[in-house]
Amino acid sequence: MTTHISKAPGAGTPAPRTTLLRAITAAGGLATVASTFLAWTWTSDFPGDLTVYGYPGGLQVLTLALGLATLLFAVAALDVRGLRWLTPAGSTAALRLLALGAFATTWFTLLAIAVDQGGLVNLEPGGWVAAVATAVPVATAFLLTDDTRPVCRPRQLPSWADILIIAAVFALGLYVVNYGIQTDEDNPEPFIGYLIALCFAAAAFLKAGLITRLSGLTSTYRSLTLVAALVTALVFPFTQDKASYTELGVNIAIFATVALGLNIVVGLAGLLDLGYVAFLGVGAYTAALVSGTAASTIHVTFPFWAAMLAGALASLVFGVLIGAPTLRLRGDYLAIVTLGFGEIFRIAVSNLDGTSGPSVTNGPNGVPNIPPLEIFGFNFDDEHSFAGFTLDSNSNYYLLMLLVTVIVVLIFSRAGNSRIGRAWVAIREDETAATAMGINGFRVKLIAFALGATLAGVAGTIWAHVQTTVVPEQYVFAGPVPPNSTFLLAAVILGGMGTIGGPLLGAALLFLIPEKLEFLQDYQLLAFGIALILLMRFRPEGIIPNRRQQLEYHETGQLDVPDQAALSGSAVGVTKAEA
Amino acid sequence: MTTTTVAQAAPVLTATGVTMRFGGLTAVRSVDLDVHPGEIVGLIGPNGAGKTTFFNCLTGLYVPTEGRVAYRGTVLPPKPHLVTQAGIARTFQNIRLFANMTVLENVLVGRHTRTKEGLWSALLRGPGFKRAEAASKARAMELLEFTGLAAKADHLSRNLPYGEQRKLEIARALASDPGLLLLDEPTAGMNPQETRATEELVFAIRDTGTAVLVIEHDMRFIFNLCDRVAVLVQGEKLVEGSSDVVQSDERVIAAYLGTPFEGEPGAEEAAAVEAAEARTEEDGQ
């Protein structure tokens, strides 16, 4: 561990060897950038056009971006004025990750060309240049000594500059998300390349301390950040050139909302609910039955607000009915019972078909032909034009879903940061002590359970209209297509329990990856399992950690003990003995 | 130190004939105990005497097999949260803080019974909610000042040193504005200075009008602190009285140190000792 230098980062002249290595890394980055302007293959059969001299295309763009980042960070490491802000926590670790990212993306592309097109002969000289150019920075970056240091206090910038930075970050974020969503769905290569590049770049920014800086900035300008996030989300449908991309957005918003509801139950109150998808099903079925479709057994047509209320109410009742007997159990027992109830819902719905039981749900055939939503004469299936913008059906649903998501986020943050939210966390931490402090454990847990169920029910009512059909087989414990209880729980755990961003990110990733990588569909559950095992080993607190959770799993990196903060980089996952 | 006049008002706590059986094992046998307002009562006894079990009977964690526990004349319901609501707060022998919550949040959780804001008020965030939150925070900070933890309000409780964790447990218990505070070995594992500080803290708590019932092994601490001491041996109350009475009681000395043995120990006695030890161990679990 290097000792912390209180002067400006990089003060004191580094050894000539270090300077040389950094310079070579920068040169390698430059060469990488240059190589993307060459043709890598002669055939345009490979997705993206990599045959052109003069401008990068397809996967070359990713290499270009990573090469550029490597170049910038290497130059910043050389202590060039004006670039030091890039590496508040040291440059070597970030350089290694960026160089590795460029290397991995490029070599993946080249190997994919060779495998897809049948042999290395399909590579143009430009491809070989890229292969060598990306290997050089990797070698030199790993020869550099580690210069990880605690993130120093940022320089005071005028507030307009801070605001500009936040806006730029959100714009960049939207661009990155759009790049991923708009990759070619017929070929898996671009999306795999995108994932590789994204993972390495994110890890590099984290190691460089940029993420810490950014979260400092966003917590200073909290409301501004929220507005920026909202605006970014609002702009999303207008930046899509295909309806199917907006549809991806709708689905992600629905599953993210449901996952956030589950996060109240799992993340805040610590109740492991393995049958959560049943509540989504109750909402969806309620909305379907009162939607006025010919297939419904009760021939009523509710306006949407009433259907939404009915769905929420039905889920609430169902949640209380299931919660009341089961919440007296703790830990694993609760998980088993909720798993059972989730399955009971599906089987019961399949049997309410008029032959095995009363005729309510049409059994396995489900309720088809659910009409499109209509709110005060605004039909969600028609195109609408406002001030030059055209909203197609998917955009309509996306914007409605966004509104619901915002409401759920508000509910989550307000409930979490209150007397009842503290009681949930206390119950999760130590139920015996919590009851001894006067918390009625059962009541408080039931509130969490019912609230989670209600939110899932609300999302379910919209989901029914988006899908136009509800069938019992959608609401299984584990299956290849979302939603299922495993998917939702995995989204919460992958993203980070107890946070708002976590389940949103987790749901987006878990939905997008199988959607883009069709060859994975048969192995989705296997991939899920492997991903979760790896996550539990290397980052048990999830991608976006809750402060509590992070401290629970890693003894170091806490505010109170600044001397040990540097140790967190060495990833010693000291798990809590009593966990 | 121990010359406080005991107000002979109506007792805060009345335990009569409390008996707790686990299957064939009687951990607590017919114990009577009164605690009066403004009094510090000690409960001592060898390991496994049933002190913590008795505490658990008082706080509703266990439902006593026989007997009744009343707080200010009303019989307590056998639910921990209702007992706390009635006005009895406790700390734990092995510290049970909410480790991943901040010091302030821990105390705020302790305020739970004295505040009413439910889910709706949290979601709507009306002026009433903000007022109640601010009042809770103010009271919690006051308690942290009182226990000397105010400077560490934003630290996570797991990061506090041991002695301060004990103090925080007391602050958290006090947050429910109890009429009676039960302390289960508050000085276990403390050094003499910390013990001394805890003593001062308990006196200060008593001076605010809260009665205190304390379990402890540190005899000097107990005899300095308590107006009255009860001795529990093998589930039964042996003696109760001022520290002088208890200290000079031969049965207490026998319970702690054993009776002087005349002559050579025979095989019979050795077996009896072993059996007694086995039983004591079993009791402790």
Give the residue among A206, A95, A149 at the shortest CA–CA distance from A566: A149
Distances (CA, A) of A35 to A96, A133, A139, A296, A445: 20, 7, 18, 61, 59
- Do A424 and A283 share a structural domain? yes
ipTM over 0.90: no
Which is more confident, A519 or A415? A415
Please check whether residue A104 is in contact with residue A236, taking contact to mean a CB–CB distance below 8 angstroms: no
% of chain A surpassing 70 pLDDT: 92
- Do A443 and A314 share a structural domain? yes
Which is more confident, A147 or B3? A147
Q: CB of A551 within 8 Å of any CB in chain B? A: yes
Measure the CA–CA gap between A178 and B103, rounded to whole angstroms: 43
Q: What DSSP designation does A470 have?
A: B
Residue A560 pLDDT more than 60?
Answer: no
Q: CB of A518 within 8 Å of any CB in chain B? A: no
Give the residue among B153, B200, B135, B201 at the shortest CA–CA distance from B174: B201
- Do A226 and A117 share a structural domain? yes
> A179 in a domain, yes or no?
yes
> A391 in a domain, yes or no?
yes
> A250 in a domain, yes or no?
no
Whether residues B80 and A435 touch (CB distance < 8 A) is answered with yes
> A6 in a domain, yes or no?
no
Which chain A residues touch B172 with a CB distance below 8 Å?
Answer: 437
Residue A142 pLDDT more than 60?
Answer: yes
> A503 in a domain, yes or no?
no
Last residue of a domain, one of A430, A464, A498: A498
Q: CB-CB: which of B110, B132, B136 is closest to A437? A: B110
Angle among Cα B140, B100, A413 to the nearest 5 degrees reads 75
Q: CB of B123 within 8 Å of any CB in chain A? A: yes
Q: CB-CB: which of A420, A426, A432 is closest to B119? A: A420
Which chain B residues touch A439 with a CB distance below 8 Å?
Answer: 81, 109, 112-113
- Do A290 and A226 share a structural domain? no
Q: Return the CA Rg of chain B.
A: 21
Whether residues B100 and A440 touch (CB distance < 8 A) is answered with no
> A518 in a domain, yes or no?
no
> A434 in a domain, yes or no?
yes
Place A4 in a pLDDT band, splitting at 50, 70 and 90.
very low
User: What confidence score (pLDDT) does residue A553 get?
Assistant: 61
Alpha helix stretches (DSSP H) within A469-500? 485-495
Which chain A residues touch B120 with a CB distance below 8 Å?
Answer: none
Please check whether residue A29 is in contact with residue A68, taking contact to mean a CB–CB distance below 8 angstroms: yes
Which chain A residue shows the shortest CA-CA distance from B124?
A414
% of chain B surpassing 70 pLDDT: 94
> A560 in a domain, yes or no?
no
Residue A576 pLDDT more than 60?
Answer: no
Which chain B residue shows the shortest CA-CA distance from A441?
B81
- Range(s) of the domain holding residue A199: 16-232
User: What confidence score (pLDDT) does residue B180 get?
Assistant: 94
Residue B1 pLDDT more than 50?
Answer: no
> Which sequence spans correspond to the domains of chain B?
7-87+178-285, 98-174
- Do A268 and A220 share a structural domain? no
Q: CB-CB: which of A411, A414, A552 is closest to B100? A: A552
Which chain A residues touch B123 with a CB distance below 8 Å?
Answer: 410-411, 414-415
Whether residues B98 and A560 touch (CB distance < 8 A) is answered with no
Place B202 in a pLDDT band, splitting at 50, 70 and 90.
very high
Residues 397-456 of chain A whose Cβ lies under 8 A from any Cβ of chain B: 410-411, 414-415, 418-423, 425-426, 429-430, 432-441, 447, 451
Q: CB of A164 within 8 Å of any CB in chain B? A: no
Helix (H) / strand (E) element for B236: namely strand B236-241
Assigned architecture for domain B7-87+178-285:
3-Layer(aba) Sandwich (3.40)
Q: CB of A145 within 8 Å of any CB in chain B? A: no
Residue A5 pLDDT more than 60?
Answer: no
Q: CB of B243 within 8 Å of any CB in chain A? A: no
